[in-house]
Structure 1
Amino acid sequence: MIIKTPPYLKPGDTIGIVCPAGYMEFEKAAECVRVLQEDWGYKVKVGSTLGSKSETYFAGTDEERLKDFQMMLDDDEVQAVLCGRGGYGMGRIIDRINFKKFKKRPKWVIGFSDITIFHSHLYSNYFISSLHAPMAAAFNDGGHVNKYVRSLKEALEGKWARYCCESHELNRPGEAVGELVGGNLALIVHGIGTPSELKTKGRILFLEDIGEQKYAVDRMMYQLKRSGKLDKLAGLVVGRFSDTGDTTRPFGASVQQLIYEIVREYKYPVCFDFPVSHEKENYALKIGAGHKLKVHPKKVTLEE
C-alpha cells in the first residue's frame, strides 16, 4: 500500500489548533500561536475547544470536541491541524470521525500521547502519514528555539529528517528499513482489537510513555508480544519512559531491562533512550514514512 503524504506547508498557510482530548487554557498555547504566526510565518485558526469553558477534565463534551476536530479536518482553509495537548479523550470520538473528505485531501495532523490513537487509526485504515510531534505547550519558556520543536517546523516544510543519539548498553546492533509507526505504549495497547489497531509487521516501531508503574509497562509489552505485534518488526526504537514508578516490593528491573528481556529472542535491531518522549526531548516523527534505522556500537541514526 502506497502511503499518502499530505502537502507540506508554505508561508501563509493556516494551522488550526484544537483540543480533541484534555482541557487546555488558551494562555498555555498563546506562545505557540505567536511563534507560528510571527516567527514561522503561518496563519493560525483557533478552535472552540482551546480555552473552552468546560468544567470537566475534557476540553468540552464528546460532541463538542468531535465537532471542532471535524471542522478543522474538513476546512479547506486549514492546511495542518495541531492538537493543543493530549491527556485522554481521542478514543471516545475516533470512531465517529468522518474521513470521507480527509481521505481525498489529507492534511498534517500533529500531536503525541493520547493523539497516538488517531495516528494509529489514520495509518492502519487509510495509510495516510501524520506527525507524532511536540504540541502547543512545548513552545513555552523558550522551547520554540530548541531542536525538538524546530524539528516540527522542518517536518512541516518537507525537510527530510535525520536524527542521531548516543548508544545504549542494551542496544542490539543492526540496520532496518521500513515504515515508521508507533507512539505512546498505553495507547497502542489500547487500540488492539479495535479499528485503530496498529499494523506493525515489517515496520520500525517506536514506543514511549509517562507515569506508568514498571509492572504496567511489563504487562503492556507482554500484550504487544502475545498479540504478535513484536515478532515480525523490522526494528524497535525505545524512547523515554518518564516518571516511571515502582511498587513497595521492587519490580527488580529498569524499564529498559524489562523491555530488553521481552524482545531478547528476536533478531531485529533495537535501540534504547531515543529522544521521543513526554519531555523536551521529543523529535517530530512522520508516521507511515519510510525510514532507515542504524544501530551501531557508538551511535544510533534514524533517517527518512
Structure 2
Amino acid sequence: MIFNDSPTIIPPYLKPGDTIGITCPAGYFCLDDVQPAKAALELWGYKVKLGKTVGGQYYTYSGTDEERAADLQDMLDDPGIKTILFGRGGYGCIRIIDRINFNQFYLHPKWLCGYSDITVIHSFVQAQLHIPTLHAEMCIDLKYGTTDESAMTIQRAFRGDKLSYTVDGNVLNKKGWGEGLLIGGNLSLLVAQIGSDADLDTDGKILFIEDVHEYLYQIDSMMWTLKRAGKLAFLAGLAVGGMTRIQQDITDPPFGQTAYEIISDKVKEYNYPVCFGFPAGHEFNNFAVRLGMIHRLSITGNHAILEEIS
C-alpha cells in the first residue's frame, strides 16, 4: 500500500468506555509507575489495556527491538484499542520504526499520544500517512498528577475539543500570523530523520520544536542543519517550546547565546510569525497539540495564540 499521497484522515475521538492501549516502544518503564496513569484514564471513563512491554526491560529499553515492535504492532492492529498512550520516551523508536506495518492503522486510524522519542512515530505518520497524532504527556508524566492543566489538555484532546492556547509575549517573538498544518516535535529527532521516509515537508507548515539535555552548540548545529536542508525558509510559522536543561560545555568559553537566541538568529531573515515559550516539551506545562491538523499562529506584542482551526 502506498501512503505518500493519501488524504488526511482524522482518527475517531474517544467515547466513554473506549479502550486505551499503553505500550513502551522506547525506554524502560516500571510497572508500578503506570498505575497512576491507568487510574486516571479509568477515572475519565476509559478502559485500559497494558502492553507486554510495560514493566519489561532489556538494558535501557522496555524490551528487545523485536519485543517492542511486536507490542506496538499488536496495539496498532487491535480493533478494540481506540487510542495508544505511550508509556515514556527515552530512546529506541528509531530502531523499530521500519519493522512496523501501518496497513491496519491506515484503514482504522487511532490517536497516538506521546512526545520526546515518540517524535519518530509522529513524523513517520505525518510524512507517509497524513494522519493526525497527539503530541502530549505520557504515562510517565501522569504519575506526577492527573488534575494539572497539562493532564486536562489530554482529556480535552481525547474527547475531541478544539485546542487553543494563549501564551505571554516574549522579547524574541516575531509578530504576524500564519496558517498551516502543525508538525514537529523533538528537535534532535527531527534532524535525525532528514533524508529518511519520516523526513517532514515543512513548506507552508507551522513547525513546533522542543528539546532537552542538549548542549548549546548542538542546538546551534541542529538549527543550521534545518536551515541548510531548506526546512526553515518557507514555514507558515514557528512555535518554540521548552528548551529544557540545555547545557554549556564547561570546558569551553561561553557560547554567547541562549537556546532561544540561537533559534531566533537562524530565522530572523524570514517573514513568518515566531513564538517562543510555547508550553510544550520536557516541562511541567506540556500541553497537548494535534500534529497534522490545521492551526493558526497569531502573534502580537503582548501574546501569542496557537489555535486549531480544523
TM over 0.5: yes
Describe the superposition over 1:263-283 as per-residue Cα deviations: whole angstroms up to 9, x where unpaired.
111010001011011111111
Determine the structure 2 residue equivalent to 1:216: 218
Alignment match, 2:89: 86
> Residues 2-49 of structure 1: CA distance to partner in whole angstroms, max 9, x if unpaired?
421100000000000000000000111110001101x20000000010
Instruction: Name the CA distance, whole Å, in 2 between partners of 1:140 and 1:55.
Output: 22
- CA shift at 1:217, angstroms? 0.3
Corresponding residue for residue 3 of structure 1 = 8
Match of 2:149 among 130, 147, 150: 147
Question: Is 1:21 matched up with 2:26?
Answer: yes
Task: Identify the match of residue 273 of structure 1 among 274, 277, 299.
Answer: 277
Quick check: 1:282 aligned with 2:286? Answer: yes
- The letter for the 2-side match of 1:73 is L
> Could you say which residue in structure 2 is the equivalent of 1:255?
259
Matching residue of 1:293: 297
Q: Following superposition of structure 1 onto structure 2, how do residues 1-304 of structure 1 map, counting pairs within 5 Å?
A: 2-37=7-42, 39-52=43-56, 54-141=57-144, 143-247=145-249, 248-304=252-308
Whether the 8 Å contact between 2:184 and 2:208 is mirrored in structure 1 is yes
Aligned counterparts of 1:263 and 1:93: Cα–Cα separation in 2: 33
Gap runs ≥5 in structure 1: none
**Partner amino acid, structure 2, of 1:277:** G
Amino acid at match of 1:13: D
Q: Deviation at 1:72?
A: 0.2
Q: Report the Cα distance in structure 1 between the residues aligned to 2:160 and 2:237, rounded to whole angstroms.
A: 24
Pairs aligned (count):
301
> SS state of the match for residue 260, structure 1?
helix
Asked if the contact 2:167/2:304 (under 8 Å) is kept, the reply is yes
Query: What is the rounded CA distance, in whole Å, between the counterparts of 1:2 and 1:93 in structure 2?
Result: 25
Q: Deviations over 1:245-278 (max 9, x none)?
A: 0023111010111111111110100010110111
TM-score where L is the length of structure 2: 0.96
Any runs of at least 4 consecutive aligned residues in structure 1 with deviations exceeding 4 A, and if so which? Answer: none
> Which whole-Å CA distance do the structure 1 matches of 2:178 and 2:116 have between them?
25
Give the residue type in structure 1 aligned to 2:167: C
Partner Cα distance (1:170, 1:116) in 2:
26
The letter for the 2-side match of 1:243 is R
Q: Tell whether the 8 Å contact from 2:58 to 2:64 is kept in structure 1 after alignment.
A: no
Specify the SS of the correspondent of 1:79. strand
Counterpart secondary structure, 2:84: strand
> How many Å separate the matches in 2 of 1:149 and 1:222?
34
- How far does the alpha carbon of each residue in 1:168-218 deviate from its partner, in whole angstroms, 9 at most, with x for none? 001000001000001000000011011110121100000000000000000
One-letter identity of the residue aligned with 2:27: G
Give the fraction of aligned pairs with identical amino acids, expressed as a percent. 45
